[in-house]
Amino acid sequence: MTQVFEGPLEMLAAGLAAGPLLGLDLGTKTIGVATSDTRRQIATAVETLPRGKFGADAAKLIALAQGRAARGFVLGLPRNMDGSEGPRAQATRAFARNLCRAANLPVALWDERLSTVAVERALLEADASRRRRAEVVDKMAAAYILQGALDRMAWAAAAAAAEREA
């Protein structure tokens, strides 16, 4: 099951094996990385990788995935506020296709609108310095993206369980 899915529920429906997922916030200069626990309940920021050529980026991500026994990736898709997709979204889709092939792992896309804004706001409320915010914003945005996908998967599982009981 190595393909790009429009969302995490589609990836689950295709038979995703149990285990952690990696969340990615793809920027032009960096890639924020987060991981989930094995039960896919909590997302944790891991690191921010500098962007380079795709091969080098993929090698770093594959090494992280293997080291954490990740079963797939959740990649933030930068849609426009009206829901349309611009050049950044198309570049992200191309990155997802290439990563999927290189890593031999599935990739689920997740709408990342306002994720960086939400993280910036939380860091400002925590009184983080400008320098500290710059250091952590990308990996925190990856955790925000991944947590949204994990919450959606948990909600779908709870709804299915409730429907079976009814």
DSSP at 17? P
Q: How far apart are CA 84 and CA 144, in angstroms?
A: 21
Pick the CATH number of 4-165 from 3.40.309.10, 3.40.630.10, 3.40.718.10, 3.30.420.140: 3.30.420.140
Rounded mean pLDDT, 146-162:
91
% of the chain with per-residue pLDDT over 90 = 63
Please state the domain extents for the chain: 4-165
User: 48-64: per-residue pLDDT in tens?
Assistant: 999 999 999 999 999 99
pLDDT at residue 134 in the model? 66
